[in-house]
Amino acid sequence: MRSDTPEGAGTVADLGEFSLIQRLTVGRAQPPSTLLGPGDDAAVVVASDGRVVASTDVLVEGVHFRLDWSTPEQVGHKAVAVNLADVTAMGATPTAVLVGLACPPETTVELVDEITTGMWKEAGRARVGLVGGDIVSSQTLVISVTALGDLQGRAPVLRSGALVGDVVAVCGRLGWSAAGLAVLGRGFRSPVTVVNAHRAPEPPYAAGAQAAMSGATAMIDVSDGLLADLDHIAEASGVAIDVRTDLLEVHQRLVDVGTALGADPRHWVLTGGEDHALAATFPGPGAVPEGWVTIGTVWRGDGITVDGRPYEGPGGWQHWR
Amino acid sequence: MRSDTPEGAGTVADLGEFSLIQRLTVGRAQPPSTLLGPGDDAAVVVASDGRVVASTDVLVEGVHFRLDWSTPEQVGHKAVAVNLADVTAMGATPTAVLVGLACPPETTVELVDEITTGMWKEAGRARVGLVGGDIVSSQTLVISVTALGDLQGRAPVLRSGALVGDVVAVCGRLGWSAAGLAVLGRGFRSPVTVVNAHRAPEPPYAAGAQAAMSGATAMIDVSDGLLADLDHIAEASGVAIDVRTDLLEVHQRLVDVGTALGADPRHWVLTGGEDHALAATFPGPGAVPEGWVTIGTVWRGDGITVDGRPYEGPGGWQHWR
């Protein structure tokens, strides 16, 4: 943790909870979906069709992020992004996040300022409110985020709706976060676009509602890895899914990083998690929306295959069975 | 933490995240407000009037609870209760909770089972769903709960709506949790009703909506202490509040504990937090609903007085200014 406090604000223990919350929330803009923001016992958020979509994720320092690998702002960005991706994967439009922050009393106000700045920025990019939260003392830095979303009259897109004959498509990056993690793990800090894809993923927030409107039958956000997450859909739907590698784009930058590190970039694309792309099934090629890439087909049976065969790469999906 | 595992389930690290979540959620009953429970990317919950009330609280072992003072089930109960109380204090009917659990990998499955059993039981008592969550590894045991609620067409009751001439009333216990904490701090474990009031508070969930329907002008749940929380209302509303001690019930059990410990039980009632009673202001004595006790009046000015004078007891409200 940083110990320099250029603004002289000291530690969170010096400032106290009420002053800290005041400092982190005052003057921040909220979108129209925030009917009542921070400052009362609870927030009030639009849920236009009489339902609300909600998901919680917890990130722990040293487990889900490292402050020597990511800036505090990137950590805040990531904590918000991974949660909004879950709401998006139901076909909902994200509306708000609530943040629980547990941090050591000696944490500098500057660090918390930077984490929450990353949260506010990513919430702004997704056009959602940061509507409430809690800041408490803990030996370990733990960030809990709850994201809310609005289905706007659409049916939620579950993991269990994939049908035999559906096509499988993805929207967003695959393998970039894993490549970035590999780079950081070797002690490098570049190429920065790859490393930042790990530090601060950018899920395609609008693509979830887009897929739902296009008739997606099942959807998930790719947090564990493409094959692992497609297996969640296959299992919930009682179907098999085959992924075709000739349809999977491997970006030249990942090829370059793979060459530099002596790793197979295709493996990152198939099994790397944390990019929070969306993977969905659609009733036919004509239903796949613009910006989505078709990568496979739903078959009778169970489990995941790659080009018709079980995937045998190291760390492949079978490890999650 | 307990190390005995009678069911042979071992630690959370042995079992793994997916199996653990499966074990903690399968076969649990959900209320009708849960449209989609755990198991997908996010939950879907009723928000009948097109708005949702949401609040997050974080509890940390050693800061907010001690596993040598409370059973794991009581800890789970408390984590859910304190969050539902926030939603209730807006005048909403609670609908659901989401739980983020960060625990050391050596935590036994039995301990997590017991914590979540306490959560399910209290959620059941409040008739809300436990609709989702996350379990991750952390050096410190941290429990984050987000509660959702439905205003059912009512306006939210804010802290800022108290008007000069309003009466102040409370519903629920005051001072019991502080008395229980004092008992535990002296190394005692009884009287058990007082100690359990600290371990597992029972907020009056139905009283929030009741107060809103009766025309409450401002409301808060008593988490920091009666005087401190009334001061939040006074400050937000730009008014003064006077509390009359002749109207404040001090239960005989608190008197007995006070006598035994050489403490003033009235001080617990005025400044003890964590009972999560509700305190509200009403436009007149006739508006105070059944089950609520009138304890004071809203005046022109600012700050909190007790019987017309600043409260000078140790740890009184002035410490939060």
Q: How does residue B316 score in pLDDT terms, banded at 50, 70 and 90?
A: very low
Is A87 in the B-facing interface, judged by CB distances under 8 Å?
A: yes
Residue B225 CB contacts under 8 Å (≥ 6 apart), including other chains? B178, B270, B271, B272, B273, B317
Residue B71's closest CA among B12, B8, B102, B116? B116
Q: Are residues A180 and A298 in the same domain?
A: yes
CB neighbourhood size of A177 (10 A): 28
Beta partners for residue B267, in sequence order: none
Which residue, among B22, B40, B97, would best test binding to A if mutated, counting the most A CBs under 10 Å from its CB? B40
Alpha helix ranges (H) inside A37-148: 72-88, 109-125
Is B64 in the A-facing interface, judged by CB distances under 8 Å?
A: yes
Which helix (H) or strand (E) is A129 found in, with range?
A: strand A129-137
Query: In chain B, which residues have their Cβ closer than 8 Å to the Cβ of A277?
Result: none
How far is Cα B206 from Cα B107, in angstroms, rounded to an integer? 35
3-state secondary structure of B140: coil
Domain boundary among A96, A131, A150: A150
pLDDT for res B136:
93
Residue A305's closest CA among A113, A168, A137? A168
Q: How many pairs of residues across A and B have Cβ atoms under 8 Å apart?
A: 214
Per-residue pLDDT reduced to its tens digit, A246-271: 999 899 999 999 999 999 999 999 99
Q: How does residue B317 score in pLDDT terms, banded at 50, 70 and 90?
A: very low
**Extended strands (E) in A256-302:** 278-282, 293-299
Question: What sign has the CA pseudo-torsion A125, A126, A130, A135?
Answer: negative
Q: Are residues B262 and B139 in the same domain?
A: no
Phi/psi region, residue B172 (left: phi>0; alpha: psi -120 to 50; beta: rest), is left
Residue found under tokens 């400032």? A15
How does B227-258 read in b/e, with b if 16+ C-beta sit within 10 Å? bbbbbbbbebbebbbbbeeeebebbeebeebb
Q: Are residues B111 and B16 in the same domain?
A: yes
pLDDT for res B314:
57
- Say if strands B293-299 and B167-171 run parallel, antiparallel, or are unpaired: antiparallel
Which helix (H) or strand (E) is A17 found in, with range?
A: helix A17-25
Whether B93 and B150 have beta carbons less than 8 Å apart is answered as yes
Residue found under tokens 């490098």? A188
- Say if strands B51-60 and A43-46 run parallel, antiparallel, or are unpaired: antiparallel
Q: Are residues A49 and A169 in the same domain?
A: no
Q: Which stretch of A298-307, B3-12, B46-55, B245-254 has the lowest confidence by average pLDDT?
A: B3-12
Q: Are residues A142 and A169 in the same domain?
A: no
Using the beta-carbon criterion (under 8 Å), do A55 and B45 form an inter-chain contact? no
DSSP string, A178-231: HHHHHHHHTT---SHHHHHHHHS----HHHHHHHHHTT-SEEEE-SS-HHHHHH
State both tokens at A118: 């990353």
User: How many CA atoms within 13 Å lie on the side-chain side of B60?
Assistant: 22
Establish whether B208 is an annotated binding residue.
no
* Domain extent for A52: 12-150
Q: CATH code at A38?
A: 3.30.1330.10
Whether B80 and B180 have beta carbons less than 8 Å apart is answered as no
Kindly tell me if the per-residue pLDDT of B313 is higher than 90. Answer: no
Phi/psi region, residue A88 (left: phi>0; alpha: psi -120 to 50; beta: rest), is alpha
How far is Cα A86 from Cα B38, in angstroms, rounded to an integer? 13
Q: How far is A20 from chain B (nearest CA, A)?
A: 14
Q: Are residues B197 and B236 in the same domain?
A: yes
Q: Are residues A113 and A181 in the same domain?
A: no
Using the beta-carbon criterion (under 8 Å), do A140 and B137 form an inter-chain contact? no
Per-residue pLDDT reduced to its tens digit, B280-310: 999 999 999 999 999 999 999 999 999 999 9
* Strands lying side by side in the sheet with A93-103: A129-137, A93-103, A142-150, A51-60, B43-46, B34-36
Q: Are residues B218 and B99 in the same domain?
A: no
Q: How does residue B319 score in pLDDT terms, banded at 50, 70 and 90?
A: very low
Per-residue pLDDT reduced to its tens digit, B27-73: 899 999 999 999 999 999 999 999 999 999 999 999 999 999 999 99
How far is Cα B296 from Cα B246, in angstroms, rounded to an integer? 10
pLDDT for res A8:
54
Q: What is the mean pLDDT of residues B181-187?
A: 95
Q: Which of B52, B57, B89 sits opposite A45 (nearest CB)?
A: B52
pLDDT for res B4:
43
Q: CATH code at A244?
A: 3.90.650.10
Instruction: Please check whether residue A1 lies inside any domain of the structure.
Output: no
Q: Are residues B306 and B174 in the same domain?
A: yes
Instruction: Please check whether residue B273 lies inside any domain of the structure.
Output: yes
Q: What is the mean pLDDT of residues B253-259?
A: 96
Which helix (H) or strand (E) is A252 found in, with range?
A: helix A252-261
Instruction: Please check whether residue B6 lies inside any domain of the structure.
Output: no
Q: Are residues A192 and A273 in the same domain?
A: yes
CB neighbourhood size of A262 (10 A): 6
Q: Which of B63, B90, B320 sits opposite A137 (nearest CB)?
A: B63
pLDDT for res A16:
82
Using the beta-carbon criterion (under 8 Å), do A98 and B45 form an inter-chain contact? no
Residue B185 CB contacts under 8 Å (≥ 6 apart), including other chains? none
Whether A63 and B139 have beta carbons less than 8 Å apart is answered as no
Is B133 in the A-facing interface, judged by CB distances under 8 Å?
A: yes
State both tokens at A62: 């040293």
pLDDT for res B8:
53
Domain boundary among A127, A150, A173: A150
Q: Which of A101, A133, A138 sits opposite B63 (nearest CB)?
A: A138
Q: Return the amino acid letter for A88.
A: T
- Complex prediction ipTM: 0.92
Is A148 in the B-facing interface, judged by CB distances under 8 Å?
A: yes
pLDDT for res B321:
31
Number of domains forming the structure of chain A: 2
Whether A51 and A151 have beta carbons less than 8 Å apart is answered as yes
Residues of chain A below pLDDT 50: 1-6, 315-321
Instruction: Please check whether residue B2 lies inside any domain of the structure.
Output: no
Instruction: Please check whether residue B3 lies inside any domain of the structure.
Output: no
Query: In chain B, which residues have their Cβ closer than 8 Å to the Cβ of A231?
Result: none
How far is Cα B20 from Cα B18, in angstroms, rounded to an integer? 5
pLDDT for res A282:
98
What does each C-alpha distance from A111 to A9, A11, A59, A74, A125 come to in angstroms? 11, 9, 16, 12, 21
Residue found under tokens 């609280």? B57
| Total residue length of chain A | 321
Instruction: Please check whether residue A129 lies inside any domain of the structure.
Output: yes
- Say if strands B93-103 and B129-137 run parallel, antiparallel, or are unpaired: parallel
Domain boundary among B97, B126, B150: B150
| Total residue length of chain B | 321
Instruction: Please check whether residue A219 lies inside any domain of the structure.
Output: yes
How far is Cα B281 from Cα B299, in angstroms, rounded to an integer? 12
Kindly tell me if the per-residue pLDDT of B186 is higher than 90. Answer: yes
Q: Are residues B144 and B240 in the same domain?
A: no
Instruction: Please check whether residue A4 lies inside any domain of the structure.
Output: no
Residue found under tokens 């009972």? B275
pLDDT for res B48:
96
Query: In chain B, which residues have their Cβ closer than 8 Å to the Cβ of A59?
Result: 136
Q: Which of B45, B55, B59 sits opposite A42 (nearest CB)?
A: B55
pLDDT for res B15:
85
Establish whether A249 is an annotated binding residue.
no
Q: Are residues B116 and B197 in the same domain?
A: no
How far is Cα A96 from Cα A274, in angstroms, rounded to an integer? 21
